[in-house]
Structure 1
Amino acid sequence: MTTRRIPVLLTSVFIIATCGILYELLISTISSYFQGSSILHFSLVIGLFLSFMGVGSYLSRYLEKDLLQWFIRLEILLSLIGGGATFLLYLAFSLTSYFYGAAFLLIALLGTLIGIEIPILTRVVRQYESLRDAMAKVLSFDYLGALLASVAFPLILLPTLGTMRTAFVVGLLNLSVAVLNTWLFRAELPSYRRLLAVCGGLGAVLLAGFIYSFQLVGFFEQFLYRDEIMLSRQSAYQQIVLTRWNKDVRLFLNGNLQFSSRDEYRYHEPLVHLPMQLALNREQVLILGGGDGLAVREVLRYPGVEQVTVVDLDPEMTRLGQGHPALLALNEGALNNPRVKVVNEDAYGFVEHASDYYDVVIIDLPDPHDTALGKLYAVEFYELLAKRLSVGGVVITQSTSPYFAREAFWCIHHSMNEVFPGLTLPVGVFVPSFGPWGFNLAMQAPGRLQPPGVPLAEQADSLLSASLSAYNLPLRYLHTDMLEGLFVFDGDMAAVETERNRLENQVLIRYYEASWAQWR
């Protein structure tokens, strides 16, 4: 009996450790999707999980008899609660205002139950081996399971199954531990038939949830996005959703609106044409982000452009930009143009290791709500970009809203001005889908704009007016009479002093979260 029991129990430890970490990652990921601030939510979920695991470990001391049967009951409960965790979180966010309460309850239940597991199994193994050997084996298998989960979740489970299906799969894994132990040790379990029947019924429910998970996600997403959902896809990096209402196509990444086809030109025309008009040359253009292809569309209006390099981390996003009918209609097939080179790589790493020089750099990235994005708005990143800008080159970055996130906007401005002193120009526009929005534009000296002397905004206004008139581009938003207003900010959006965003402090994230929290 001993030779059969130990391998089965250690295999169980490995599986339940894998499941436990996956539950943590699922709740953290979904909380980040729905509420933003991945650092905050991952930290809170992990901290609360560990705390409740401590509670569970303490409670395990009160279980003295029938340890194996208690362990099987725990696995059944975990498979029920954990397998349905994503469903419950979608339900709470879509149909109620109690998302955080539901998330906390799930963390408390799962953490406590997981905390009871390992002490029980250690005590069972202890019956047949010394305490030293029992602890060593149980903990080693526990850590190995945690390693597997941490690797499999971002690389395999999330991009291939998504959050809903992954939760049901993990629930079935937990249930398989209960079935395995019930069947192999049925001689020691008087109620093994009842346990197997419960496992069978629960397994059918979880399997049905897995099979119909896309329908379930679609049902809840219809409440989240209201409009018709044309596409919902989970990549290795983000949840991508395309919606349509009449002629309005919208792109959402992790629940955050990226553009509306009704007014995206009010965003992309300033983002692209201001730097393209102010640069000394425009043969080599680098776009960081912009996997939807809309910024590329505007760049390709210039016949002198020789190559556009688009660097977007997510290959799924650029594939959609190259092939989805709705995006192709909007970007005019820009990403399939022979002058366009698509690179799926982290923007920071690409710039750090690049050897080419670029005349124009356009940074079209999501807002800086976590450190992975915050580093792309840091002084150190702008220093890397400055090394890759040709003489007279221009760089522009989207910079969130100067109204809704005033400190964050000016933090980006001041950080960029550290690298391009006196040659950094803030730009403000109005996009109905977003509200007041902003960019920051900087130039590599010597260029078309020169400090000191005439204020930079006046120089830019004069040069842009002449240049736009000369090119006669088919623009819908930008025109010579409104250019001066792009560089004027109302009192409630005017410049404020902030710290500079650096890799060591990532202060921009704090400004961003504090500002937007006032409007949620």
Structure 2
Amino acid sequence: MSNSLFIEQQNDYIAFYINGELQFHSQDEAIYHEYLVIPAIKLAISRFPDTDLRVLICGGGDGLAARDILRFSEVKQIDLVDYDPEVLELAKTVFKPYNHGSLEQEKVTIYTEEAFGFISQLPENHYHIVISDFTYPNTAEETAIYSREWFQEINRVLIPAGLTCINAVSPNYNTEAFWCLYQTLISAGLFTKPLQLNIPSFSDHDYGKWGFLLASSEVIQREEIEKISLPDNLQYLTYEKIIQAFIFDEEIAKNRQQFMVNTIENKQLFYYLLNGIDNSELESNLEAKEIINFLDINEETSTEIGNSNALDLDTVAKFWLENIYTQADTEKPPNRH
């Protein structure tokens, strides 16, 4: 099914939508992309000194993640796989002033195909960093690129101790779905650190705080994060903001281990997205609340996590049909990126 693409011009800014959902606003997209890319790249540089780094970007056809990766001379190869040729064409034309022509750089090789098929054909231990910059899933089938099988493939193609960062969902508006993804990464053998941040354009669209998941087959230590040195000329990210991003309200994070993992067979993520808990009322100042700092937590990976059967799609559909009319006036629309 083809996507509906729309670009809105707003004075000196543009906003890009896929199927009616905001992908980025040029006024603040740097917030999103700096968090998605820079901590993972800097950790990889630290873990693999004097190494020509290889990076895979899955999704990211707008070229904005590639732009920020190209800041680093240590990165010698960037492969980008995106199935939508229209987005890739926009990256080379309309988006070029924002991505600085990233997809035309010699280091970057573009593959126009489905990411799952692409990654499954790659050799083991091939990349130092994998960035997943996918849009928010609209259907049960689209959750395959958020499944345990997908994250197992990422783990397989990563060089041991390599890093991956995943665009997730809102931890306060889609709490169950966020921790489902967290547990799914852990179940794929990846030590995982969750992050959250505010992106004004996302908040304006009622998407809530946004979440990322930083992971590796090797434990990510607090000391590694604390030693991160940032490149010059960043628009938003600072050392203090990186450290703050790992802190969550205890009410949001305390039940994280109860949620089931998402697999290709049992599409639990889709169920949580349809029927999830909205904790947006917990957005107030973290200093006044009990918190969990994930820099101090290293939860064990396990391939046994969440192996019981998830609710099947018939149950999901039944629940949704029974509740859609009564909840229509009170529920926020599902957030997207």
Q: How does the TM-score come out when normalised to structure 2?
A: 0.76
Q: CA RMSD in A?
A: 1.7
Is structure 2 residue 97 aligned with structure 1 residue 329? Answer: yes
Contact 1:290-1:310 within 8 A present in 2 as well: yes
Is structure 2 residue 198 aligned with structure 1 residue 438? Answer: no
**Counterpart in 2 of 1:340?**
108
Contact 2:36-2:166 within 8 A present in 1 as well: yes
Is structure 2 residue 200 aligned with structure 1 residue 426? Answer: no
* Alignment size in residue pairs: 268
Matches of residues 121-270 of structure 1 in structure 2 within 5 Å? 237-270=2-35
SS of aligned partner of 2:228:
helix
Higher-helix-fraction structure: 1
Match of 1:414 among 157, 180, 183: 183
SS of aligned partner of 1:369:
coil
Contact 1:368-1:374 within 8 A present in 2 as well: yes
CA distance in 2 between partners of 1:293 and 1:351 (Å): 19
Is structure 2 residue 149 aligned with structure 1 residue 365? Answer: no
The amino acid that maps onto 2:20 is G
The amino acid that maps onto 1:466 is K
CA distance in 2 between partners of 1:399 and 1:492 (Å): 19
CA distance in 2 between partners of 1:499 and 1:431 (Å): 28
Unaligned runs of 5+ in 2: 204-208, 279-327
SS of aligned partner of 1:370:
coil
Residue 361 of structure 1 deviates from its aligned partner by 0.2
Match of 1:307 among 77, 80, 85: 77
Larger Rg: 1
CA distance in 2 between partners of 1:263 and 1:494 (Å): 27
Identity %: 32
Residue 475 of structure 1 deviates from its aligned partner by 1.2
Contact 2:228-2:239 within 8 A present in 1 as well: no
Residue 464 of structure 1 deviates from its aligned partner by 3.2
The amino acid that maps onto 2:18 is L
Q: Deviations over 1:448-498 (max 9, x none)?
A: xx3xxxxx5xx34x32342325xx332122111222211011245324321
CA distance in 1 between partners of 2:118 and 2:192 (Å): 23
Match of 2:270 among 488, 503, 509: 509
Alpha carbons of 1:371 and 1:300: their partners in 2 closer, same or farther (altered >3 Å)?
A: same
Contact 2:39-2:228 within 8 A present in 1 as well: no
Is structure 2 residue 57 aligned with structure 1 residue 298? Answer: no
Contact 1:366-1:373 within 8 A present in 2 as well: no
Is structure 2 residue 121 aligned with structure 1 residue 353? Answer: yes
**Counterpart in 2 of 1:289?**
59
CA distance in 1 between partners of 2:268 and 2:101 (Å): 38
**Counterpart in 2 of 1:112?**
none
**Counterpart in 2 of 1:136?**
none
**Counterpart in 1 of 2:303?**
none
Bigger relative contact order, structure 1 or 2 (CA pairs below 8 A, ≥6 apart): 2
Is structure 2 residue 236 aligned with structure 1 residue 477? Answer: yes
CA distance in 1 between partners of 2:110 and 2:197 (Å): 28
CA distance in 2 between partners of 1:391 and 1:378 (Å): 21
SS of aligned partner of 2:106:
coil
SS of aligned partner of 2:198:
strand
SS of aligned partner of 1:394:
strand
CA distance in 2 between partners of 1:514 and 1:251 (Å): 27
Q: Deviations over 1:304-345 (max 9, x none)?
A: 111111100111111110122xx1010000011111001011
Unaligned runs of 5+ in 1: 1-153, 155-236, 451-455
Matches of residues 22-101 of structure 1 in structure 2 within 5 Å? none
Higher-strand-fraction structure: 2
Match of 2:164 among 383, 395, 399: 395
Contact 1:427-1:439 within 8 A present in 2 as well: yes
Q: Deviations over 1:345-398 (max 9, x none)?
A: 111111111126010000000112213320001011111111100122001111
